[in-house]
């Protein structure tokens, strides 16, 4: 895949995520986080299947959502079992 094509795919994915997703730190509940994680996983899988290319920052964004989800689960667990 040419660099031009990779750049176009990156811009397309970045545009999609900025229009449809909130920043991980702005998410306020687990259902919202889980929805974004699932949507991002689906998009990553689509890019892998269709183009055999996924920008590295997409995996970094997924890691941020997962970290936020783990934090929220920890807080919920702590508050439940105090």
Write the pLDDT tens digit of every residue in 7-59: 999 999 999 999 999 999 999 999 999 999 999 999 999 999 999 999 999 99
Check residue 20 and give its pLDDT: 94
Check residue 52 and give its pLDDT: 95
Tell me how far apart the alpha carbons of residues 47 and 20 are, in angstroms, rounded to a whole number. Answer: 17
- Integer angstrom CA distances of residue 23 from 40, 47, 62, 72, 77: 13, 21, 11, 15, 23
Q: What is the pTM of this model?
A: 0.89
Total Cβ atoms within 10 A of residue 19? 7
Total Cβ atoms within 10 A of residue 27? 19
Residue 1 scores a pLDDT above 90 = no
Average pLDDT over residues 74-80: 92
Tell me how far apart the alpha carbons of residues 55 and 22 are, in angstroms, rounded to a whole number. Answer: 19
């Amino acid at each position: 895949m040419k660099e031009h094509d990779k750049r176009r795919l990156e811009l397309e994915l970045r545009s999609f995520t900025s229009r449809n997703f909130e920043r991980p730190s702005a998410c306020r509940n687990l259902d919202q986080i889980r929805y974004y994680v699932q949507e991002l996983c689906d998009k990553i899988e689509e890019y892998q299947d269709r183009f055999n290319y996924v920008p590295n920052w997409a995996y970094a964004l997924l890691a941020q959502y997962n970290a936020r989800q783990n934090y929220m689960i920890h807080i919920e667990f702590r508050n439940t079992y105090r």
